[in-house]
Chain A
Amino acid sequence: MTNALLQTNQLHKTYGKRDTAYEALRGVDLSIAPGESVAIVGKSGSGKSTLMHLLAGLDTATSGSVKVGGHDLGHMSEGELSSLRNTKFGFIFQQFFLQPRLTVLENVALPLKIANISVAESNRRAMEALEQVELTDKAKNRATDLSGGQKQRVAIARALVAGPEVIFADEPTGNLDTQTGHTVIKLLFDLHRKRHITLVVVTHDADLAKLCDRTIIIKDGKIQ
C-alpha cells in the first residue's frame, strides 16, 4: 500500500532497561489508508495504547519506523513533530483533559493559539468547531460546568479545530455512560464520514469497534 497515510514497519517498543525491560510492542506492521477508520482493541497492557502513541508521534519507537504521509517520524525534529501534531493530528482522551480555568471556547481554540493564529481568527474557527458538536450555546461557560458527554464533545471540537487529517481517540467513551457514549460515537463517525477524517480509535468497547472499517487486535505486543 503506497498511498498509506500511516504506516509502520517492524515497530518495536521496549520500556525500561536490562532486568526491568518490558517489551510493549514486538514488531508491528500496519498500514492505514486516508479516510479509513481503524479500531485498535486488546486487553489492557497489550500494547494498544503504546501503538497509538507511536503512530501519533507522542512517543518514539525503540526500533522500526512510523511513516506519516511517507515521512519517517524518527527523522523528524521535536519541533517538526510538534507542528505535525498541531496541524495534522487531533486527539481525544478518555479523561477529556479540558483546562478547567479556560472557557469552552478557549479550550477549543487552544491548538490554534499554540499555532500562533490571531485571537479573532482562533475564536471564529473554534466557534465553527463548536457548531459541529452543537455546543455553541456553552461557548462562554467554564469547562468545569459541563457534563461528561458535553466535555467529550468539547474535546472533539478541539480535535477538529485545526482541520486535522487524523483523529486519535484513546478510549473516547471510557468515562461516559452508554447513552452518552452512543451520542459521542455517532458524532465522531458523522464527522469521519462527512469530512473524510482518518480515525484511529483505541477501545474496549465492542460496539464502537464494530462501527470502524477495520479492527486490529493487539495481543502481547503483536497484531493478531
Chain B
Amino acid sequence: MKLLEYAKTGSSNLARSKSRTFLTVTAILVGTFTLAMVTALSQGVRHYIDAQIQAYGQPNTMSVQLKANTKDERRSANNVLEYDPTHSAATGTVYMTDADVAAVKKAAGVTGAYPVYKVNPDYIQAGSGKKYVVQLQANYPTANNPEVTAGKYPDPADKTAIVLPYAYIQTLGFASAADALGKTVTVGLSQAGDKPGQVLRSETVQFKVAAVASDTLHAPGATISYLEQADLASYQTAGKLKAEGLFATTDPNQTSAQTASMKSALDAGGYSAQTFADETAHFNTVINMVQLGLSAFAGVALLAAALGIINTLLMAVLERTQEVGLLKALGMRPRGIFAIFLSEAVSIGFWGGVAGVGLAIAIGPLIDRILLKSVFKGFPGTHILLYPATDMIFIIAGAMALGLLAGTLPALRAARLDPITALRHD
C-alpha cells in the first residue's frame, strides 16, 4: 500500500464513527480557533500600532540626541556643567549646533539631518470659529509619508501647507475630512517675555489644509513644513534657535548590520540615535508578550484536545482489533497498520486545524465591525484582524503535528497486536 492509500484509508475510517470524530475535531478546533484569532488580532494590532507610530515618524528615520545631556566630560567632578557659549544654555540642556548637523550627516548611512525646533503656538482657528489649542510638528523630507485619510501629503518645502490631525476636523467645524481640504486655517503664536504672562509680540499665520492625517490613539499635532517650523521657532525665540535634537533620514536599503554600525559610529561621535525600528520594537515586545500569553491558553486547549485524539484512537483500535488481525493475517506489515491509525490521527488534526482557522476567518468581519465601533474607532480601513497565510498554514500544520504525536501511542498499540489474539477478539 502506498502512502496516499494509507492516508485515504485513515480518512475514510474517520467517517465510521462520525459523532466521535466530530467531537474530537471540535476539541482541536477550540485550540486552533483560539490560536488563529490571537494571531489575527496580534498581527492586526501590530499593523495598527505601526500606523500609530507613523504619525510621529516613518521607517528609515531616526531621532538623534546629544549624549552630552546624560554623560559629559565637560562636567566637573561635582556634576556642574562648564559654561560653553556654543553648546550650552542656563538650564544645563546642551543644544545642537550646525556642526552637530554636519557631523551626523557625515555618518555612513545617514541621508539627511535636520535640527528639531520646538514651536509653541497659542491656538488654531478655522475662519472665525472657536480657537483651539494645538501642537505643531515639522514635516521633514523623507522617503515615505504617513497614511492620510484625505488629500495628498504636501511637499516638505511647501511653507503654506498644513496636515491636520483627524481629531481637529469636526472640532474646527468641517463637515468631513474631504471638506477640509484646500480650506484655510489660522495659527496664532506669540513671543513670551521673561515675566509671567508677558507677551512681547504676537502674529497669525495662514495655512492651507493639504491633507488630513489618519486617526491615532494619541492625537499628534498638526504638521507643517520644516522650513516654516524653523521660521516660527525663530520668531518665538527672536532668532535664538535652539535644537534639542536632530531628525535624520537613513538609507532605506540599509541592512540591520549597517544600521548597527551607523549607530555605533554616531555613538562614538557623542550622539545617541533612536531609529524608527527601535521605537516600534518597544511596542512589539509588549504585543509579543500578550500574544505569547494568549497562545499559551490555546496551547492548553490543544493539549487537552491531544488527549482526546489519543482516547478516540484507542477506542478505534479496540473496535477494530479483529480487522487489524485480518489485515495482519493477509500480510499487512505492522508499519502498515501503524500508518493507517497514524494517518487517522493526522487527519483529525488537519480537519481540526482547517475548521479552527476557517471559523476564525469566517467570523473575522463580525469581530472587525465590533472593534471598529469601539476600541479602534476612527481607524482608517475596514478591518483590524489580519490573517497572514503563512501563519494560518503553520497553525494547520501544527495541529497535524499534534495529531501525529498523539496518534503514535494508539497506532503503536495497533501495530503490535498479535494477529491470532486480534482475530479472536470480539
Give the interface of A toward B (CB within 8 A): 53, 56, 58-59, 78-79, 82-87, 91, 93, 97, 99, 101, 110-111, 113-116, 158
Contacts and interface: CB of A to CB of B under 8 A. Distances in A.
Contacts of A87: 331
B5 interface: yes
Given A113-B5, A114-B336, A116-B1, A85 B423 contact: no
A66 to B, nearest CB: 15
Which 4 residue pairs are nearest across A and B when measured between Cβ atoms?
A86-B331, A85-B331, A82-B333, A97-B326
A111 B331 contact: yes
B419 interface: yes
B328 interface: yes
Contacts of B18: none
B195 interface: no
Main DSSP-derived SS at the B contact region: helix
Interface string B403-426: 000000000000000111001000
A58 B329 CA distance: 7
B420 A59 contact: yes
Contacts of B418: 59
30 contacts: A56-B329, A58-B329, A58-B420, A78-B333, A78-B334, A79-B333, A82-B328, A82-B331, A82-B334, A83-B331, A83-B333, A84-B331, A85-B329, A85-B331, A86-B330, A86-B331, A86-B332, A87-B331, A91-B330, A93-B423, A97-B326, A99-B326, A113-B1, A114-B327, A114-B331, A114-B332, A114-B336, A116-B1, A116-B5, A158-B330
B282 interface: no
A160 to B, nearest CB: 13
A118 B329 CA distance: 21
A44 to B, nearest CB: 13
A82 B330 CA distance: 8
Contacts of B71: none
Interface in B1-42: 1-2, 5, 16
A77 B123 CA distance: 91
Nearest to B330: A111
B158 to A, nearest CB: 74
A99 B323 contact: yes
Contact of A114 (B1, B322, B323): B1
Contact of B2 (A93, A101, A111, A116): A116
A58 B330 CA distance: 10
A87 to B, nearest CB: 7
A170 B144 CA distance: 83
Nearest to A87: B331
Residue among A58, A83, A84, A93 with the highest chain B CB neighbour number at 10 A: A58
B321 to A, nearest CB: 12
Contacts of A59: 418-420
A101 B13 CA distance: 10
B420 A110 contact: no
A179 to B, nearest CB: 27
A189 to B, nearest CB: 23
Contacts of A85: 329-331
Contacts of B5: 113, 116
A70 to B, nearest CB: 20
Interface in B307-323: 322-323
A118 to B, nearest CB: 10
Contacts of A93: 423
A58 B336 CA distance: 17
B38 to A, nearest CB: 40
Contacts of B322: 97
A221 to B, nearest CB: 17
Contacts of A101: 16
Contact of B329 (A91, A99, A113): A91
Contacts of B16: 101
B228 to A, nearest CB: 79
A203 to B, nearest CB: 18
A110 B423 CA distance: 16
Given A87-B331, A111-B330, A113-B1, 19 more contacts: A56-B329, A58-B419, A59-B420, A79-B333, A82-B331, A82-B332, A84-B331, A85-B329, A86-B330, A86-B331, A86-B332, A97-B326, A99-B323, A99-B326, A101-B16, A110-B327, A110-B330, A111-B331, A116-B5
